[in-house]
Structures are given as structure tokens and as C-alpha cells.
């Protein structure tokens, strides 16, 4: 017996639509944020046409006859705008989506808008004050501003809703990205914009798509943005916060015993620095040794050291240890410096008469351990010199300092007989 041809492609439901329907299930008494995150992760992983499909599906659900489903759909939309990036932002700024979202708005606003209408106005106002101002591609989101202006002209009023913002450390470090991350983000945004231009298909859009394809193919290398300079600019902003923290700690009233409380200016700056530290450590670990990008590695390590120093100083102030807070230099370095000052000897002194009987064990052990490791393994030191160059320098120093004709005794360890 032949089956009915009614089982066509109409009845097929995409996995994304299943996830969205589950998140907007009318049996839910409140938004299911776990389902929201699941939808956001699916959109971010699939990309392609998924952001557009999600945006249009949610816009249709927002106009559902059941107001509870509409409110759940608008709550999901708010979560996706915060969790998804530019590809989704580009779709909610299209004329098709915005017109579908306000399809049930009357020509003249009612004296008392219902909950769904008020929620849509709140979202449009939030996008206009948020992503249309803070996004790196805000020029592509002009339709949101136009819709806001049109609704205002028709008499709709946007209340000053309390916009849900990120925590201060997260918001302050949102733009702190490495050159590689900036380039990947740009390419993903350009790919999403290219797909949207081709979908529209107008002569103007196709001409813009052709120029965008040239940019993605690297036809004009000179027009490529300098991502390294952009990344260093953000690191310089972070360094200014380190300087600010040090200046604030320098002006602490130690005589009256100034107290630090949670949420004050000191704590806010410290939280920003703590949030930035894992990023710097991750970037330093990902620097390719073979690329010889010692400049970036030095920048990351130096910035990480500055943050560690100022945070240790802040913690000392909180504990009341003003002596350490006034001089946060590590103990081994300060002891070595005081010992050298007391004996009148410098770290490197080529006076044979003075240092003829110098004992190598009196030298700072950590310095020579670093040098020997670099020379033996051939790795680059933090100064950017190769192990071979360091070896030659140390051989000359060792022969002049201690009279060893064979140079640096590689098989000799400090403190051994």
C-alpha cells in the first residue's frame, strides 16, 4: 500500500525550532534560562543561517495570540541579544524582523499599552542605548535607531527602564582582546554580513558583497586593520588602571587607619585587574615560540607582573601591613640589594683586585639558574635573547670574574662542592 505524500518537507521541524518551542512552552510559569542558554549555544555553534531563522521565529512567537507565549518569546529574545554576537545583532536590525516585531502596534499608541507592547518598547530602547552605542559594528545597526525614532514620532513613549548590565569587571574588560581574537571576531562578522548582503540580492548589496569578498580574500593587504595596535591600546587602558590603583594606595591615610570596604573605589579597580589577569596569562601561554613574537610576550608578562604587584600591595593594605604595602618588592630581591649595598659590591664588577676571592655562591642564585636553563635548553629568555647569545655573554663574564679559562662551567651548580 502506498503512503500518502502528505509527509513532505512542510512537516519537518528544524532542531532550532524545537529548542525555541521548548523555551517558549506555555506550561512554563517563568522563563527557563537554561533553555535560553541552550538556544544561544546552538546559534553560536551553527552560525550560517541560524541567527536569521532564530530571530524570525521568535518575532512570530512574540505576536502569538497567547500573551504568555509572547512574554516567554520576548524574554528569550533578550537573552539571545546578550549571549549571541554580531551575527544575531545584524538579524534583529533588519527591516523584516523589526516590522514583524511591531506588527500589532496600532498607528496611534493607546493610552495604556499592554504588557507585551511595553516589553517590546523596552527591548528596542535597550538595544538603541546598548548595542547601537557599544558595538564595534554599530553602523550596521542603524535600522534599530530608525525604528526607535519612528515609534517616537508616532507618539510611543520609551520609559527609562533599568537596563540589565554586566558586572563592572566584565564590562570594563569586554574589549580586552588579543590581536588573534580581534581578527577572528572581525572575520566572523564580515562573513555574517556577506551572507546577509547576498541574501538581500539588490544591486547595491551585491556590489558591497563583492568588496567584502575582496577584503576577506586579502586582496588589499594595506587596508587590513592593525589588530596588534588595537590590542595594545586596550592593554594601555588596563595599565592606566594599575597606575590609578598605585596612586590611590599612595594617598591612603595610614595615620588614621583608613579602612577598605567591599564595593568601594579600591575594590572596584582591584576586581577589574583580577578579571584581566587570567586573560593575560592565557595569551602569554599561547604565544608561539617559533614566531619570535617576544614583544607581545614581554608585554603580557610585564602587565601581569604589574597587576600582581599592585594587587599584593592592596591586599597588604587591607590586612594592615603598611610596611609591605609601602615596599612591595620581593624579599629575595630586597635582601640581595641590601647585601650588595652593605658590602659595597655591585652585581657585576670587573675589578680583579676586589673580587679575586669572590665566591660564586654569594651571587643571586635565581639569576644564574635562569641563565643556565636558558643556555642549556636553547630557549629564549624574557629579555628576548637566545640561549646561545646568553651563553657567550656569561662565558665572558665568568672568565673575567672568576678566572675560569674554559668559560661557564655548565656542569657546575651553585652551592655544590
Give residue-wise pLDDT tens across range 115-153: 999 999 999 999 999 899 888 888 889 999 999 999 999
Rounded Cα distance between 297 and 283, Å, is 8
Query: Is the model's pLDDT at 245 over the cut of 80?
Result: yes
Query: Is the model's pLDDT at 417 over the cut of 50?
Result: no
pLDDT at residue 38 in the model: 94
Whether 15-162 shares its CATH topology with 227-253+261-324 is answered: no
φ/ψ of residue 14, rounded to 5? -70, 155
Between 167 and 191, name the one with better pLDDT: 191
Cβ-contact 127, 144 below 8 angstroms? yes
- Per-residue confidence at 335, pLDDT binned at 50, 70, 90? very low
Domain 15-162 class, CATH top level? mainly alpha
- Per-residue confidence at 257, pLDDT binned at 50, 70, 90? low
Highest mean pLDDT among 63-72, 156-165, 241-250, 315-324: 63-72
Average pLDDT over residues 365-390: 45
Domain boundaries, the chain: 15-162, 174-224, 227-253+261-324
Write the DSSP symbol of residue 55: H
Q: Does domain 227-253+261-324 have CATH number 1.20.58.160?
A: yes
Q: Which of 88-92, 292-296, 306-310, 323-327 has the lowest mean pLDDT?
A: 323-327
Burial (CB < 10 A; 0-12, 13-18, 19+), residue 93, is buried
Q: How many residues does the chain have?
A: 417
Amino acid at each position: 500500500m502506498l503512503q500518502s505524500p502528505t509527509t513532505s518537507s512542510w512537516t519537518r521541524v528544524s532542531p532550532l525550532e524545537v529548542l525555541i518551542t521548548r523555551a517558549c512552552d506555555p506550561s512554563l510559569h517563568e522563563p527557563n534560562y537554561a533553555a535560553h542558554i541552550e538556544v544561544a549555544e546552538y546559534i553560536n555553534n551553527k552560525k550560517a543561517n541560524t541567527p536569521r531563522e532564530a530571530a524570525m521565529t521568535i518575532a512570530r512567537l512574540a505576536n502569538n495570540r497567547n500573551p504568555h507565549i509572547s512574554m516567554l518569546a520576548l524574554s528569550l529574545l533578550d537573552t539571545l541579544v546578550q549571549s549571541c554576537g554580531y551575527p544575531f545583532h545584524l538579524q534583529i536590525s533588519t527591516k523584516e524582523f523589526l516590522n514583524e516585531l511591531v506588527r500589532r502596534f496600532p498607528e496611534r499608541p493607546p493610552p495604556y499599552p499592554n504588557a507585551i507592547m511595553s516589553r517590546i518598547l523596552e527591548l528596542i530602547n535597550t538595544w538603541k542605548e546598548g548595542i547601537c552605542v557599544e558595538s564595534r559594528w554599530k553602523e550596521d545597526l542603524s535600522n534599530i535607531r530608525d525604528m526607535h525614532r519612528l515609534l517616537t514620532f508616532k507618539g510611543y513613549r520609551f520609559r527609562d527602564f533599568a537596563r540589565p548590565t554586566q558586572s563592572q569587571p566584565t564590562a570594563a574588560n569586554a574589549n580586552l582582546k588579543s590581536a588573534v581574537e580581534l581578527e577572528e571576531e572581525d572575520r566572523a562578522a564580515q562573513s555574517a554580513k556577506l551572507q546577509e548582503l547576498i541574501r538581500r540580492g539588490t544591486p547595491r548589496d551585491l556590489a558591497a558583497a563583492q568588496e567584502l569578498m575582496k577584503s576577506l580574500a586579502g586582496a588589499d593587504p594595506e587596508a587590513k586593520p592593525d589588530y596588534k595596535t588595537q590590542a595594545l591600546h586596550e592593554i594601555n587602558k588596563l595599565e592606566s588602571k594599575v597606575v590609578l590603583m598605585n596612586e590611590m594606595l599612595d594617598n591612603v591615610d595610614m595615620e588614621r587607619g583608613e579602612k577598605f570596604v567591599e564595593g568601594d573605589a579600591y575594590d572596584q579597580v582591584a576586581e577589574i585587574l583580577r578579571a584581566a589577569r587570567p586573560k593575560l596569562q592565557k595569551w602569554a601561554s599561547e604565544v608561539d615560540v617559533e614566531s619570535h613574537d617576544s614583544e607581545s610576550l614581554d608585554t603580557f608578562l610585564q602587565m601581569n607582573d604589574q597587576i600582581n604587584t599592585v594587587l599584593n600591595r592592596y591586599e597588604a593594605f587591607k590586612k594592615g601591613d603598611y610596611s609591605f604595602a609601602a615596599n612591595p618588592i620581593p624579599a629575595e630581591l630586597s635582601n640581595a640589594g641590601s647585601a650588595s649595598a652593605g658590602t659595597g659590591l655591585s652585581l657585576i664588577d670587573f675589578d680583579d683586585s676586589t673580587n679575586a676571592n669572590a665566591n660564586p655562591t654569594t651571587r643571586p642564585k635565581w639569576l644564574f639558574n635562569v641563565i643556565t636553563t636558558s643556555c642549556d635548553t636553547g630557549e629564549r629568555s624574557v629579555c628576548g635573547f637566545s640561549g646561545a647569545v646568553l651563553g657567550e655573554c656569561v662565558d665572558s663574564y665568568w672568565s673575567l670574574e672568576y678566572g675560569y679559562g674554559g668559560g661557564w662551567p655548565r656542569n657546575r651548580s651553585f652551592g655544590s662542592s
